[in-house]
Amino acid sequence: MEVLVYVPVLLFSFVAHEFAHAWVAYRQGDPTAYQLGRVTLNPIPHIDLFGTIIVPAMLIATNSSFLIGWAKPVPIVSRNFRNYRRGDLLVSVAGVTANFIIAVASTLLMIVLVHAVRAAPSFSPWAGPVQDMLEIAISLNFILVVFNLLPVPPLDGSRLIYHILPERIALWYRGVERWGLLVFILLLVSGAITVLLWPAAALMELSRALIEWST
């Protein structure tokens, strides 16, 4: 039952992240993702075998204290942007912005749900699964925000760092992208990823405090 609640939230969160990248890239002048059918909330074009299925399944199977993964990266041709730097920065923050909005919206919906159950107790039997999904949406999307802002190429945070570095260092930094998956695996195996994701825990705690205060 827990997996059945996790999977839809996980998939929607990943898809929303990549959809945001694709939509903003299209708006900035790059039609690549649009032409490949990625400006859509249909999950099928966004599914990545390793990041969307294998990694989350392994974490669920091992009762990991956190759940993470990713969808198929959206292909971006940044030279198509009307303004390269502006377009690249906006596309980079689009995904984490989508996840942040989902987390905040889920927090607000949780508050509404609590008040709805108090006003109509007959709704209570149906509220449990909805509450579980909202709690997962809050924690998962805050984790995705912080995870994707880590300055490890090719994560979104690395794109933001790239634009503030001197050109020579920036080119070297971008070259680290070929080792990005290895770095991620090392962070995961060593447990360092849990430490790096501490801001997500702080955001979750803030969300819980807001829910308690409002209800």
Q: Which of 58, 73, 89 is nearest to 22 (CA)?
A: 73
Considering the candidates 18, 135, 177, 205, report the single residue annotated as catalytic.
18
First-to-last alpha carbon distance for the chain, in angstroms, is 27
**Which tokens sit at 35?**
């032409």
Give Cα 193 distance to the centre of its chain.
15
Asked whether the beta carbons of 147 and 155 are under 8 A apart, the reply is: yes
DSSP letter for each residue of 55-89 = HHHHHHHTT-SS-----PPPP--GGGSSSHHHHHH
**Is 18 annotated as catalytic?**
yes
| Sign of CA pseudo-dihedral 103, 109, 115, 118 | negative
- Rounded to 5°, the CA angle 104-109-111 comes to 100
Active site amino acids: 18
